[in-house]
Amino acid sequence: MFKEYSFQVLPYFKKSENNKDIEAIDKKYHGVNGPLNVERFSYVDDNVVMLVNAFNETGLPLVDFNGQQQIGTMTAQTTSANGKRVSTNTAFIKPIRKKRTNLTVRTNARVTKILIERYKKTANGVKYIKNNVWYKVYARKEVILSAGALNSPKILMLSGIGPKDVLEALNIFVIKDLKVGHNLQDHVTTNAMLMSLTNKTSTMIPANQIIDQVKEYYKTRNRNHPLSATGPLQLTAFIRTKFADKDESLPDIQVHFDGRNSKEFYSDPTNYLETNVLPFSYYDSINVRPILLVPESKGYLTLNKTHPVFGQPLIYSRFFTVKKDMDTLVAALKSITELKRTKSFREKGVKFIRNTVSACKPYKWGSYKYFACLFTRYTSTIFHPSGTCKMGPSDDLEAVVNPKLEVYGIKHLRVADASIMPRIVRGNTNAPVIMIGEKISDLIKDRWKDCTD
């Protein structure tokens, strides 16, 4: 779309990265000197190895899918250090927070509005609330909004930037009529496709033993421990279906595997993710999750009419409004079930559980209608909302920001998070959003490099 967001962003990915997986990476595609630690978990259970081998048997190669070739499988590299998650806070903010005199962090504070001079259409600060007290803080140069793909559009609309009809219906003064909140995309999947394990391959242990292991882990911080990893979730694969783009190097499906307690799951499959408290590493079955990487269906979000400021935005995902999306996911699920024929599955006694889940009992297990039912009745995402403050050229009627991430028609206001993605990326969004942060840092420095204030 814009050449500056093609492979020209690779240096921004590498700038943040401190990849410790030296033997597996090509330094052309990875950084080794950044603040963000990247490595694979040292603890890998036998079922992860079995899944990797099964994919290899089907012809899917072992690759570094963050490198030259994406189609393939591997135990994923993660933003972690010694089995402990590394966030952008721990990597970027904590090391400098007490050292930088020009950095102030307000915690437990909620921004509700961008302060904009209405007739000059210039952003000059924000309004926020902390401990039930309202504050205003003013910017000398510009305001950067980075509240995520759900809250950035909400804050823009509360500030008078958004669809005119939505704002006028809530008596919000319209400063700029833009398609804020449109173009919502996410990576959709299902929670209801399980593989059973035998007593030998199950990692489930009694609850009292899990508690003992949790205590042991926090006491020793042993990185070679089940709690230092995420069970089968650390494995992923990228595959193509017959519905994929013509470019044969591009996948249209990512496959995740989650550990499950089958008894708990079948007692309440709809709410399992909300009610399960077991660590990922203890499981007696595995949930197979084909994830749609290139959704054609797009949704939108808008303000909560009852409580626009403190209420959550209303989200209309509109999954599967384009039939190709469902066709792709069903084809992927049918392809994945062929893993049952591999030597790796047979030797371990792994089988797909053919008991139909309650909402899909009218359909035959394995049929198009049954698999489609799994996606529509047990819908899930992997929490990658994107696209709601779309970056695009000035003649794009849905564009909210330009390539410099400046909001169209408003001076000194930019957006920098997953909301600016025109199309959702073919993979997880964490690293691309960090790249956006690195990119906008250079854009800001370039804009103000000659300013002495």
Q: What is the per-residue DSSP string for 281-309?
A: T--SEEEEEEEESS----BEEE--SSSTT
pLDDT class for 404, splitting at 50, 70, 90?
Answer: very high
- Does domain 42-78+186-381 sit in CATH 3.30.560.10? yes
Q: Is the pLDDT of residue 43 over 70?
A: yes
CATH 3.30.560.10 residue ranges of the chain are: 42-78+186-381
Calpha distance 415→419 (Å, rounded): 8
Contact yes or no for 281/161 (Cβ under 8 A) = no
Calpha distance 283→210 (Å, rounded): 11
The residue-averaged pLDDT of 389-411 equals 98
Is 111 annotated to bind a ligand? Reply is yes
> Tokens at residue 177, please?
């009529």
The pLDDT value recorded for residue 354 is: 92
> Tokens at residue 203, please?
């990692």
Taking only the tens place, the pLDDT of each residue in 289-318 is 999 999 999 999 999 999 999 999 999 999
Q: Which of 349, 425, 330, 353 is nearest to 387 (CA)?
A: 425
What's the half-sphere exposure (Cβ side, CA atoms, 13 Å) at 121? 12
The pLDDT value recorded for residue 90 is: 97
Higher pLDDT, 451 or 208: 208
- Percent of the chain, pLDDT > 70? 99
Task: Identify the bridge partners of residue 258 per DSSP, sorted by sequence position.
Answer: 287
Position 419, amino acid: S
Calpha distance 298→65 (Å, rounded): 26
Taking only the tens place, the pLDDT of each residue in 202-260 is 999 988 898 898 888 888 877 788 888 999 999 999 999 999 999 999 999 999 999 99
The residue-averaged pLDDT of 4-33 equals 90
Determine the CATH number of domain 108-178+388-447: 3.50.50.60
Calpha distance 349→410 (Å, rounded): 61
Calpha distance 392→101 (Å, rounded): 36
The residue-averaged pLDDT of 183-198 equals 96
Q: Which of 158, 168, 165, 133 is nearest to 311 (CA)?
A: 158
DSSP 8-state code for residue 450: T
| Sign of torsion over alpha carbons 42, 43, 49, 51 | negative
Q: Which of 43, 21, 51, 38 is nearest to 258 (CA)?
A: 51
CATH 3.50.50.60 residue ranges of the chain are: 108-178+388-447
Active site residues: 384
- Percent of the chain, pLDDT > 90? 84
DSSP 8-state code for residue 89: I
Phi, psi torsion values for 149, nearest 5 degrees: -70, -10
Q: Which of 206, 162, 169, 168 is nearest to 183 (CA)?
A: 162
> Tokens at residue 248, please?
């044969």
Contact yes or no for 189/374 (Cβ under 8 A) = no
Calpha distance 333→290 (Å, rounded): 6
Taking only the tens place, the pLDDT of each residue in 245-290 is 999 999 999 999 999 988 888 877 777 777 677 788 999 999 999 9
Calpha distance 351→354 (Å, rounded): 9
| Sign of torsion over alpha carbons 392, 394, 399, 401 | positive
In 10 A of CB 62, how many CB atoms?
14
> Tokens at residue 298, please?
């797009």
Contact yes or no for 172/158 (Cβ under 8 A) = yes
Contact yes or no for 65/26 (Cβ under 8 A) = no
The pLDDT value recorded for residue 137 is: 98
The residue-averaged pLDDT of 332-341 equals 98
**Three-state SS at 438:** helix
